[in-house]
Chains A and B, each alone.
Chain A
Amino acid sequence: MELELLNIEKSFGDKKVLTGVSFKAEGGKACGLLGRNGAGKTTTIRILMNVFPSEGGQVLIDGKPIDYNKTKIGYLPEERGLYPKKIILDQLIYFAQLKGMSRIDAIKAIDYWLNRLGMTEHRTKRLDTLSKGNQQKIQLITALAHDPDIVILDEPFSGLDPVNAMLLKDVVKEQIAIGKIVLFSSHQMSYIEEFCDSIAIINKGVIVLHGDLRDIKRDYPRDRLVVRSQTPDAIRKDFGSVCSSTEDGGLMIHLSSPSEKQQIMTRITENYDIDEVKVFEPSLNDIFVEYAGDAPKEA
């Protein structure tokens, strides 16, 4: 199964919110939807979920316009919200029924997930008696109980302790493994790097970067070297202005062209006491800041 958003346009009043948003996500893989606050992520997700219509463009499943009666979507919103004063089991059944499940199927699925997330003992409690992390696990059940084809997780890890985060990671990996399309939105880049095969960075309503994460990293110009040495000062003196310090105490040497790489590496290893020298590969964090920063790079 493949989900594709094609040239989605949306404005609220006079304000253009999305301009030609297009990206793809495949079943059995996770796609990271990244963007700064107010970039248009939630709007994109809402259009994808048919909360409101787009003014242009299409949402396609395997090349055909999506049929919301057939394709089920599970959503974990960033703004967590259920009924705080109501019994957990009651509201979980309600949401599953709204998604089209029968009561019996809903109870079966909810029992499975309560057990899986270690929440069975809380099923007859009121939601607001639970801790924030536990409430979040309940919220996760509303996104997964109806066995959706597309799982959209908006900041799923915020507020979880390391043990619960690990539990959630397992669940997400499991969902990916059974072929679901997982759409991930987070500002915690480490999680995106861990799960996502592809990313789409959205900035001010425009997709500025989209594709396979490894390809993006590989295609990055290989014109920087990271050097660790016991004598950094000597190297810094030698290279002058093209050499800068990195945050973790290493050195970064900017090459005038990627073809210089071999020659400079040889020069460093022959002349200095070197612990490590490698071509700089940007982290997702670096890529994000570069594309979604205040002076974004043109895609």
Chain B
Amino acid sequence: MNQFGTILKFELKYFFKNKTFVGITIFFVILIAAVMFFPRIISVFESDDPDEGNTPFSTPVMLVKTEDAAKEDDVKKIFESYFTDYDVRIATENIEEIQKMIIAGVAECAFVMQNDTSFTYYVNNLSIYDTNAEIASEAVSRVYQMNAMINEGISAQDAADIINFRVSGEVVSLGKSQIQNFFYTYIMIFALYMVILLYGQMVATNVATEKSSRAMELLVTSAKPTSMMFGKVLASCLAGLIQLLAIFGSAVLFYNLNRSYWGENMIIDSIFNIPASLLVYMLVFFILGFLIYAFMFGAVGSTATKLEDINTSVMPITMLFIVAFIVVMMSMTSGEVDNPAMIVCSFIPFTSPMAMFTRIAMSTVPWYEIAISIAILVGSTIGVGVISAKIYRMGVLMYGTPPTIGNLIKAALKS
């Protein structure tokens, strides 16, 4: 126990003295600070501007050309009411000149009306977010509908009421709303993925470095392999948790400092309103998932003679993990997180940390399924830990060609 404590402290110190580790953490904290302070910074610049809300030069110009000069005023009014972000101007130039003006940047876009029901939209670069054509077609069709109704003898007021009639509807989600929890589940799964792969590799490299520098020769005579393995893995698990805590903690802190500037941003709001129970699940699955993979990475690291061998040795583990990640991500984006693949994955210990967590976050999972999944995961983590410690014990003193994983497990079970 004493030895384990010494090793844990020494390994943890290694992380905090590691420039890359500290650098990445600080980088993320600064990045998050920048994102969180962004609206505030923007608002500072905006309030410095004396022409607030009245900046004709920054408002893009939209040209509208009608086939009939008599309709110009009506059309202009309608377009102005639909395109409030634009400076709508009536164009009298011909089409070639309008096109030149757009290319030259004098105007951003132009609508050329052929008649009451058809128009052509000209724009220089068409952005995928450009919905001007749809908006215009709605505007034009409304005007057409209104005119048609007025022509049929309905009063202008009634016609406007009919057209502007809105149905009121309410959505009540009895389970979980995927709209709300999609983003934070996404962030958490991604964090889990990054941290496990990053730290797993670190554990493997760390073990292989000790072996290739032959510090192992002395270590094995000074400490029990189980203490060494568990000390290392738990140290990296703690370091990972601390790093995540620093990053997410700073995100929460900076968000609260700037809360008023964010206003009613649904995504941000949902991210910072994660239910406490989900955070607990996150912690449970993070720790268990981290440990089961870190043990495997540690065992594999111990079988490599040279540092260069590490990349090929850890390949099967990395692949396993990436497959799990892809299944989860695809199910998440398809919106159907309770598909058969996910249900199976949520009970397999190597995929359940991500799969079960996603299901809990985005769907309603019966408590016994969660309990079974966690029980399987805990049992497997202990099993993998014990086998890994045995492989480690053999691996660290073995030099030469790395043995196959199958052989190792066989030998470990035999001993």
Cβ of A31 to closest chain B Cβ, rounded Å:
18
Most A C-beta atoms less than 10 A away, residue of B2, B13, B222, B393:
B222
Which listed residue (A49, A51, A94) contacts B6, Cβ 8 A? A94
B7 within 8 A of A: yes
Distance between Cα atoms of A98 and B13 in the complex (Å): 16
Main secondary structure of the interface of B (DSSP, over half): helix
A94 to B6, CA, bound (A): 7
Query: Bound complex: CA of A97 vs CA of B2, how far in Å?
Result: 9
- Cβ contact of A83, chosen from B2, B213, B217, B220, cutoff 8 A: B213
Contact of A51 among B10, B14, B214, B397 (CB under 8 A): B397
Nearest A residue to B411, CB-CB: A13
With most chain B CB atoms within 10 A of its CB, the pick from A75, A80, A97, A100 is: A97
Q: Which of B6, B210, B219 contacts A97 (CB 8 A)?
A: B6
* Interface band, chain A: 20 to 34
Closest to B211 in A: A81
Q: Does A121 contact B (CB under 8 A)?
A: no
Please determine whether A81 and B221 come into contact, CB atoms closer than 8 angstroms: no
A81 touches B397 (CB 8 A): no
Q: Which of B2, B6, B10, B218 contacts A82 (CB 8 A)?
A: B218
Residues on A with C-beta less than 8 A from B7 are: 98
Q: Is A191 an interface residue (CB 8 A)?
A: no
Contacts of A54 in B (CB 8 A): none
Q: How far is the CB of A206 from chain B (nearest CB, A)?
A: 22
Docked complex Cα distance between A42 and B222 (Å): 16
A3 to chain B, nearest CB (A): 16
Asked if B156 is at the interface of the complex by the 8 Å CB criterion, the answer is: no
Is B382's CB within 8 Å of the partner chain A? no
A216 at the interface (CB under 8 A from B): no
B217 / chain A contacts, CB cutoff of 8 Å: 77, 79-81
Asked if residues A81 and B218 are in contact (CB atoms below 8 Å), the reply is: yes
Q: Do A77 and B397 form a contact, CB below 8 Å, given A84-B213, A94-B10, A98-B6? A: no
Is B215's CB within 8 Å of the partner chain A?
yes
A77 close to B10 (CB less than 8 A): no
Q: B227-270 toward A: CB 8 Å interface, digit per residue (1/0)? A: 00000000000000000000000000000000000000000000
Task: With CB as the reference atom, state the residue of chain A lying closest to B220.
Answer: A51
A82 vs B223: C-alpha distance when bound (angstroms): 14
In the complex, B3 has a CB within 8 A of chain A: yes
Nearest opposing residue in chain A for B215, CB measure: A81
Flag whether B216 is at the interface (Cβ < 8 A): yes
A142 within 8 A of B: yes
Q: Is A95 an interface residue (CB 8 A)?
A: yes
What B residues does A77 contact at CB under 8 A?
214, 217-218, 221
- Report which residue of A94, A98, A99 has the largest number of chain B beta carbons within 10 angstroms of its beta carbon: A98
Residues A153-196 near B (CB distance < 8 A): none
Interface string of A244-287 (1 = CB under 8 A from B): 00000000000000000000000000000000000000000000
Number of chain B residues close to chain A: CB under 8 A = 21
Closest to A78 in B: B217
User: Contact string, A210-228, partner B, CB cutoff 8 A, digits 1/0?
Assistant: 0000000000000000000
Report the bound CA distance from A82 to B221 in whole Å. Answer: 13
Chain A, range 69-97, C-beta contacts under 8 Å to B = 73, 75, 77, 79-84, 86, 90, 94-95, 97
Tell me the bound Cα distance from A177 to B397 in angstroms: 34
- Check: A46 CB closer than 8 A to any chain B CB: yes
Given contact pairs A51-B397, A100-B2, A95 touches B222 in the complex (Cβ within 8 A): yes
Q: Which residue of B lies closest to A86 (CB)?
A: B14
Contact with B along A95-114 (1 / 0, CB 8 A): 10111100000000000000
Measured in the bound complex, the distance between the Cα atoms of B219 and A139 in whole Å is: 12
Partner of B213, one of A81, A95, A98, A99: A81
Q: How far is the CA of A49 from the CA of B397 in the complex (A)?
A: 14
* Contact of A142 with B218 in the complex, beta carbons under 8 Å: yes
Nearest CB in chain A: distance from B337 CB, A: 45
Nearest neighbor of B224 in chain A, beta-carbon distance = A50
Given A97-B6, A98-B7, A100-B2, decide whether A46 and B215 contact each other with a Cβ distance below 8 A.
no
| 1/0 contact string of B190-227 vs chain A (CB within 8 Å) | 00000000000000000000100111111111110000
> Which residues on the A side are within 8 Å of B220 (C-beta)?
46, 51
A46–B221 CB distance below 8 A: yes
Give Cα A75–Cα B14 distance, bound, in whole angstroms: 25
Q: Say yes or no: B221 contacts A79, CB within 8 Å.
A: no
Q: A51-B397, A94-B6, A94-B10 are in contact. Are A99 and B216 (CB under 8 A)?
A: no
Complex-state Cα separation, A49 to B10, whole angstroms: 23
**Are B216 and A81 in contact (CB-based, < 8 A)?**
yes
- Interface, chain B (partner A; CB < 8 A): 2-3, 6-7, 10, 13-14, 210, 213-223, 393, 397
What are 22 A-B interface contacts by the 8 Å CB criterion?
A: A46-B221, A51-B220, A75-B218, A77-B214, A77-B221, A80-B214, A81-B213, A81-B214, A81-B217, A82-B215, A82-B218, A83-B210, A83-B213, A83-B215, A84-B213, A90-B13, A97-B6, A98-B3, A98-B7, A98-B219, A99-B222, A142-B218
Closest 6 CB pairs of A and B: A81-B214, A77-B217, A98-B222, A79-B214, A81-B215, A97-B6
